[in-house]
Amino acid sequence: MDNPIALLGIVITLYLITLNPDRGRDWTLTRTEGEPYEYNSWLPGIYDSIKVNYGNSTPFVNGNCSVPHVNCSYFVDTDNNTRIKLWGTMTPEVMWVTFNSSRNLMPITVYFFNNQMWLNIDHKVFQPYFSLPLAISAVDKEIASFTCVHTAYLPIEAKIYFGLDMTPIYLGNNSDVLNHTQVINFEISTMAVFKKYTVTVRRVNNMDFYLCELAGNYLSHVILWK
């Protein structure tokens, strides 16, 4: 096949089928370009700034967290979780929106699947479409797995953290990850330009949060045990 773009498309499709059969999703927004959207979600604590793609952080002000291309409002509920509402028109200008906390809580990123798909395969970018589900239902279970996939044209390692306070789980050394008692299994696999981390863990809390970080990009998972 002479067309490298077409070949890469086949590779992506094969990767999706073979390494990510689960299509559940949360902290993602899927719409057709030009289609209006309204997205309501929650952040697990007090969050107070927003950033679009690689842009600068914009602080929340009096219920308003809007930035160019994304309308945003928020309030803090009685459980001290931040409730957010995003709305606007789907555009390729927005690939993801990251929420941060001045209390050093785990960043939360909402990914935008424009035209119902993810086409950003730049170097050192997470591939959320291959990392689903981001919200994992594990009700009445004691063990669950999550995955993080990123592009890696050159050797590069993601970092993995546990909990809102971001306790390190994996910082690039395979031997370290199993020192954490809740980690049952840890695997790294590669295919073409992609690297995939699969982590199997035991339940710690009723709701456990895990974060993958790569060069200032973030991919968040929550496991719902009950």
Percent of the chain predicted with pLDDT > 90: 74
Residue 213 reports pLDDT greater than 70? yes
Tell me the one-letter amino acid at 214: L
Q: Which residues pair with 2 in a beta bridge?
A: none
Q: What pLDDT is attached to residue 172?
A: 85
> What would the two tokens of residue 93 be?
């200008």
| 21 Cβ contact partners less than 8 Å away, ≥ 6 residues apart | none
The arithmetic mean of pLDDT across residues 84-100, rounded, is 97
Mean pLDDT of 48-54: 96
Computed over every residue of the chain, the mean pLDDT equals 88
Placement of tokens 């809390």 in the chain: 205
Nearest to 98 by CA among 123, 128, 77: 128
pLDDT at 124: 80
How many other C-beta atoms are found inside a 10 Å radius of the C-beta of residue 105?
21
Contact present, 192 and 153 (Cβ < 8 Å): no
At residue 193, φ and ψ (nearest 5 deg) are -95, 15
pLDDT at 62: 98
For the ranges 13-22, 65-74, 132-141, 207-216, the lowest mean pLDDT is seen at 13-22
For residue 24, the model assigns a pLDDT of 37
CB 119 within 8 A of CB 8: no
pLDDT band, residue 174 (cuts 50/70/90):
low
Domains of the chain: 24-120 (2.60.40.10), 121-225 (2.60.40.10)
Question: What is the band of 191 on the pLDDT scale with cuts at 50, 70, 90?
Answer: confident
- What is the predicted pLDDT for the residue at 48? 98
Residue 19 · residue 189 · CB < 8 Å: yes
**Under a CB-based contact definition with an 8 Å cutoff, are residues 148 and 129 in contact?**
no
Q: What is the pLDDT of residues 8-21, one digit of tens each?
A: 444 444 444 344 43
Handedness of CA 22, 28, 33, 39 (dihedral sign): positive
Q: What pTM value is reported for the model?
A: 0.87
34: left (phi over 0), alpha (psi -120 to 50) or beta: left
